[in-house]
Structure 1
Amino acid sequence: MGNSQSQPTPTAALPQPFLRDPKRMSRMSQATQVVAKRQSMAFSGLTLGCTSAAPHFDDDASQDGSETSSHTLEPPPPLYAATSELQEDDEKAALAFKEFLKTYPEYKLTWTLDALRRSDFSRLDRSGETYVDYMGASLYPESLIRVHTDFLRRSVLGNTHSVNNSSQLSSRYTEEARQAVLSFFRAPPGYTVVFTANATAALKLVGEAFPFQEGSTYVLSADSHNSVHGIRVYAANKKSEVVYIPCLDQGGVDTKTAMDILATHRAPGDTAPALLALTAQSNVTNSKNNLGLVKHAKQLGYSVLLDAAALAATSVINLADYPVDAMALSFYKLFGFPTGVGALVVKESFLAELSRPWFAGGTVDLVQAPGMVHRLSDDMHSRFEDGTINFVSLPAITDGLRFLSAYLPFLPIRLAALTHFLATSLSEITHENTDKPVVRVLSRLPTRRPKAVGEQAETGSVISLIFLDPSGEMLPLSFVEYAATTQNISLRTGCMCNPGGAAALLGLRAEMDQLTCAHTLADFEVHVGRELGVVRMSLGLASNFHDVYRVLAFARAVGTAETRAAMWDAWSAARAAGHGGKH
């Protein structure tokens, strides 16, 4: 059960559906600057994670009178909130949005994100694309691309391994990006940043260099990405013990169970190195794990590696509060651009304990050839940055992090409201002429929603589910993805490289236990009698009510017999032609 998912359908086969210095910052789009000015009062005295100056809404804040009185009591929305959501041509959609605001009044605090949608993500509305795959990749803001493109047009950048003028300019912006990352995650002194290709490469750096030995322990959650599972190969090859923390039915770990397992496998006096890889947020079950486990594991003598790839885009991570030894992330998950750049945010003292299995260009100061003598670079981060880093793209990291910082305080409010509304509304949709549900939501939902700017959400903004036919049988994932694509809805199906989390949601943990190296994915699917995985919808920086409304319309269409039959026929024909998915 690996990264099972249906293959993308060729577009041609588908029917068409209904910042750094002031000079550079000044080149940001005019629309973004206008938004920033209009935000100034909201941001005065506000630091990320601080909620004291923000207004607060109760669940029943808008249930206090007639329609007339609510119009009298509530001020009109600010001008920058006038988006397509409030000017919807479809009267039903406009009424639905109005009802949504009654139940989720805190959503009004996030209208600055509607201005952002218009200024930096207008291509979504122009193209009619409904994008609900932010866990796969965030969408890049247009102003970030303009600023970076303008910067590249004006700059001469050379390889950072040289000392000429162009090289020094690249090195300067690289170090600026490194400091921007440390600042964004509030890293205390002693941390550095190793730039990598992505979060997976960052995790691999730790796995291959950690001093596993006989007597060592590698602890991880079953609800983890395959890149975290993969570290177990390094541990096992060094005769270290691999220990799993079981995940709950809806993913994540029970804190007490995790603490007990950590204590059981780290007796007082143990000196062999031990590593805990903690998934901050699951990319499929929507569960956030208790970061308090970091301090508990440290007290027991574990080194702690945090996989923050799924969490960092929508949540504040403060390394001063949770001093992990290393944290892995990908920047395209945060703000869409650039791809191919990730980071290991890491303590220099931890890097000193790691031993690379090789060396490469850029990592060494002196090499004997022929011979066996080599001396590693004096810069700790340079020892782990193999070859030439992506110096042309790194300046965009600084601008991207500053861009995200302006909007990050608003995201938990908006995304929690949209996620809760989408999940509960999907659960209420039934097949026509029956009371059988069209959808079964499997992932974790929040028990409370943030109501103040800067307040954090207790879960992510991921909904994992399956679609059902009128008899209650699961509809093929490849059919759902094909049908959604014909309606310009970008979602994802499969196991999302998280076999443990997907197995828990689908109730397949017992079957997972029976797997052997002789089995293939096809064997496993034959055994369980269906395509493996779930349908995943994930919201992010540019999501709004319009996106959710279109997803609900699609689900209702699947619940209509005539429409579903037409979708099925189109999918069957495309599959016969080799365009309809993996089966």
Structure 2
Amino acid sequence: MGGALYPESLIRVHTEFLSRSVMGNTHSVSNSSSLSLKCADEARAAVLSFFKAPPEYTVIFTANATGALKLVGESYPFTGGSSYVLGNDSHNSVHGIREYANYRGARVCYIESTPQGGFDAPTAKNVLLRNRPRSRELAPSLFALTAQSNISNSKNPLSMAEYASSLGYHTLLDAAALVPTSAFSLADNPVDAMAVSFYKMFGFPTGVGALVVKKSFLAQLKRPWFAGGTVDVVQVPGNIVTLSHEPHEQFEDGTINYLTLPAITDGLQFLSAYLPFLPLRLSSLLHYLVSSLSQIKHDTTGTPVVRILSRKPTRRVKNIGDQADTGSTISLVFLSPTGDMIPNSFIEYSASRQFISLRTGCMCNPGAAAAILGIQEDMQRLFPGVTLKDFETAVGRELGVVRISLGLASNFQDVWKVIRFAALIGKEKSRQVLWDRWTEASGIGQAI
């Protein structure tokens, strides 16, 4: 979920294409530019097809999912009577839209996270109902739904977007963590706009994401500036500007990443071949990993080595085509023999020595991190200018969790290596050796 491994076949196909083709800036009519435009159009069509988007949708290519979310935030017509509703368990790029809402006088309304992340559907409906727009024309309001959390492993009900829409909200779906391992259809789950990132889906290319958006919704957005590529005519000096006739071009600043867009088409074809089988495969790996980690004990005290904080699946996927009720991520903390949290920085360092890539921290999702770590009250006591060090000093330990993400390329050997590593931490002698190496490398004079 953080960044998928890129398949050798995809790199080879794209390299061969570039070696026999000459691409040019799409804002021209030369042969090389025409080829780039053709490939860009094919990539847009592939994205729409992959997500089963009805004809009213178009695709705006961005640098990443964050860029797609920012496009909506900066252009949305918030007013003093508007509401921006979102869940605590959201990525910082979703939280960041509140800056635009606050600047224009709109209310920012949060849906509380459960202790396992995500939100409770009745609670979410209550927040949406209490803050529903009085008039979509005079006080447009936006609901941002996180389809799947990048830290708590929770999947929120997609039907919540339909409910919000029935109340008059515009709906924005952050699908960046969902679509790498779950099939998604805009025909079945319509939203006004959806943000995705392709490197999370199939590893290559980085630097390309997309906003899949209804053209009618685009028509209501007003960008605070224009740039090369977004306009047809500009009066200089003066104030007259005519935007590009294609809706998507009005939101694609400058030159799109035309050299890598053909890889989007190939990558979606690659993922399409595996996606029906992924939930079944990942469900098996996740269940084995969760059950095995839960059974590992310290050799000196018999106490657990890890505490899993993220949401665990309630059922196991058994058939091809079925969807899991959670993601394929585990967020946990490692515990010392006395039950105290072992520093995440030590775990990350020690894992890297075993050639295991783990991510630690709050994963750009402070709301979910606070919920699953049980530090919501500490979050409420933050003050302007607070630093991470201040926060950690107040809490008394490092903030964040250890995240293990399973995806397209994960296999049993990967899971087994993580289990073996956790067992290594549970053995006093091996843990002390790792600790000594870490303290020497980091200059920290501690004992565990």
Residue 507 of structure 1 pairs with residue 359 of structure 2: no
In the alignment, the residues of structure 2 paired with residue 419 and residue 527 of structure 1 have an alpha-carbon distance, to the nearest angstrom, of 34
Residue 224 of structure 1 pairs with residue 90 of structure 2: yes
SS in 2 for 1:353: coil
In the alignment, the residues of structure 1 paired with residue 386 and residue 374 of structure 2 have an alpha-carbon distance, to the nearest angstrom, of 19
The number of aligned residues is: 445
CA shift, 1:267, in A, is 5.7
In the alignment, the residues of structure 2 paired with residue 514 and residue 543 of structure 1 have an alpha-carbon distance, to the nearest angstrom, of 40
In the alignment, the residues of structure 2 paired with residue 343 and residue 463 of structure 1 have an alpha-carbon distance, to the nearest angstrom, of 27
1:182-193 residue pairs with structure 2 within 5 A? 182-193=48-59
Distance 1:269 1:349, change over 3 A: closer
SS in 1 for 2:393: helix
SS in 2 for 1:465: strand
CA shift, 1:424, in A, is 1.7
CA shift, 1:544, in A, is 1.1
Larger radius of gyration: 1
Q: Please give the per-residue CA displacement for 1:502-531, whole angstroms capped at 9, x wherever unaligned.
A: 000100001101111132111000001111
Residue 162 of structure 1 pairs with residue 22 of structure 2: no
CA shift, 1:268, in A, is 5.5
Aligned residue for 2:341?
Answer: 474
Instruction: Indicate conservation of the 8 Å contact 2:181/2:278, yes or no.
Output: yes
The one-letter code of the counterpart of 1:335 is F
Aligned residue for 1:326?
Answer: 193
Aligned residue for 1:204?
Answer: 70
Q: Please give the per-residue CA displacement for 1:250-303, whole angstroms capped at 9, x wherever unaligned.
A: 000111111111011116656410000000000000000000011101110000
Instruction: Indicate conservation of the 8 Å contact 2:133/2:139, yes or no.
Output: no
SS in 2 for 1:409: coil
In the alignment, the residues of structure 2 paired with residue 173 and residue 577 of structure 1 have an alpha-carbon distance, to the nearest angstrom, of 53
In the alignment, the residues of structure 2 paired with residue 220 and residue 515 of structure 1 have an alpha-carbon distance, to the nearest angstrom, of 20
Distance 1:342 1:370, change over 3 A: same
**Structure 2 runs not aligned, ≥5 long:** none
CA shift, 1:433, in A, is 3.1
1:177 to 40, 43, 56: 43
1:564 to 414, 431, 434: 431
Aligned residue for 1:266?
Answer: 132
SS in 1 for 2:81: coil
Instruction: State, as a whole percentage, how many aligned pairs show the same letter.
Output: 64
Aligned residue for 1:493?
Answer: 360
Residue 442 of structure 1 pairs with residue 306 of structure 2: no
The one-letter code of the counterpart of 2:348 is E
In the alignment, the residues of structure 2 paired with residue 534 and residue 525 of structure 1 have an alpha-carbon distance, to the nearest angstrom, of 13
Instruction: Indicate conservation of the 8 Å contact 2:133/2:169, yes or no.
Output: no
Aligned residue for 1:9?
Answer: none
Residue 311 of structure 1 pairs with residue 178 of structure 2: yes
CA root-mean-square deviation = 1.2
Q: Please give the per-residue CA displacement for 1:408-434, whole angstroms capped at 9, x wherever unaligned.
A: 011001111111211121111000032
TM-score, length basis structure 1: 0.75
In the alignment, the residues of structure 2 paired with residue 237 and residue 521 of structure 1 have an alpha-carbon distance, to the nearest angstrom, of 25
TM-score, length basis structure 2: 0.98
1:114-153 residue pairs with structure 2 within 5 A? 135-153=1-19
Residue 349 of structure 1 pairs with residue 223 of structure 2: no
The one of the two structures with greater contact order (alpha-carbon pairs below 8 A, sep at least 6) is: 1
**Structure 1 runs not aligned, ≥5 long:** 1-134
In the alignment, the residues of structure 2 paired with residue 278 and residue 322 of structure 1 have an alpha-carbon distance, to the nearest angstrom, of 12
Which consecutive aligned stretches of 4+ in structure 1 deviate over 6 angstroms post-superposition? none
1:388 to 244, 255, 261: 255
Instruction: Indicate conservation of the 8 Å contact 2:305/2:334, yes or no.
Output: yes
CA shift, 1:550, in A, is 0.9
In the alignment, the residues of structure 1 paired with residue 245 and residue 78 of structure 2 have an alpha-carbon distance, to the nearest angstrom, of 24
In the alignment, the residues of structure 1 paired with residue 99 and residue 413 of structure 2 have an alpha-carbon distance, to the nearest angstrom, of 45
In the alignment, the residues of structure 2 paired with residue 388 and residue 333 of structure 1 have an alpha-carbon distance, to the nearest angstrom, of 23
Instruction: Indicate conservation of the 8 Å contact 2:176/2:200, yes or no.
Output: yes
The one-letter code of the counterpart of 2:45 is Q
In the alignment, the residues of structure 2 paired with residue 298 and residue 528 of structure 1 have an alpha-carbon distance, to the nearest angstrom, of 40
1:277 to 126, 134, 144: 144
Aligned residue for 1:195?
Answer: 61
Aligned residue for 2:401?
Answer: 534
Aligned residue for 1:576?
Answer: 443
CA shift, 1:143, in A, is 0.3
Instruction: Indicate conservation of the 8 Å contact 2:98/2:108, yes or no.
Output: yes
Instruction: Indicate conservation of the 8 Å contact 2:175/2:195, yes or no.
Output: yes
In the alignment, the residues of structure 1 paired with residue 438 and residue 376 of structure 2 have an alpha-carbon distance, to the nearest angstrom, of 31
